[in-house]
Structure 1
Amino acid sequence: MAQLLTQTEIQEKVSGLSGWTVEGSKLKTTRTFKDFIQAIEFVNKLVEPSESAGHHPDIEISYNKVKIQLTTHDSGGLTPKDFHLAEVISQIN
């Protein structure tokens, strides 16, 4: 099980991520695309890095918007795994 981050560590890490916020025990972002097809193409690009990391985001799709939430469920909050995957996701267009 991954070690939970302290509130100080969480604030330090989220400050380095553009477009991400922390709400409770979740790291969140919303990406907006031209249309539904581009939104789905983006979600498909999340599969390989999520599988490689063994860490899977919660994803909500609403037409051209993709909401992503990260938390380490088995640890009960935010861990380095969440921030690592957020960094990877931030690089995907």
Structure 2
Amino acid sequence: MKKLSDEEIQDKLQELEGWTYAKNAIHTSFQFENFKEAFTMMTRIAFEAEAMQHHPNWGNVYNQLEISLSTHDADGVTEKDFKLARAIEKIIETTN
């Protein structure tokens, strides 16, 4: 996959509410009612990420989930990261 330019990344971020670009990755965070809900969401995202063969860098503390996406092989952000970000957004939307 081709690494996207900063301008391409900023253009694509317009489609994703709550996502930012910093340190060679796109980032977002979510807050849930409790740990169980956060962990359930992580599990749903994990299945999608595995199917896409693209895995997030993420962290969870109680009801908070922080996600960073970057394509290591390209040393930056690619269309693959935006595809997973859109899938994550769809998973979040369908459970709210």
TM-score by length of 2: 0.92
DSSP-derived class of the 1:92 partner: helix
Distance 1:45 1:35 in 2: 16
State the match for 1:65 in structure 2: 64
Q: For residue 76 of structure 1, what is the aligned residue in structure 2? A: 75
CA–CA separation in structure 2 for the residues paired with 1:78 and 1:14: 11
CA distance in 1, matches of 2:73, 2:25: 13
Aligned counterparts, 1:16-35, within 5 A: 16-35=15-34
Give the number of equivalent residue pairs: 92
AA aligned to 1:37 is K
Question: Partners of 2:73 and 2:90 in 1: how far apart?
Answer: 26
Q: What SS does the aligned partner of 1:56 have?
A: coil
Provide runs of 4+ in structure 1 moved above 3 Å: none
CA RMSD of aligned residues (A): 0.8
TM-score by length of 1: 0.95
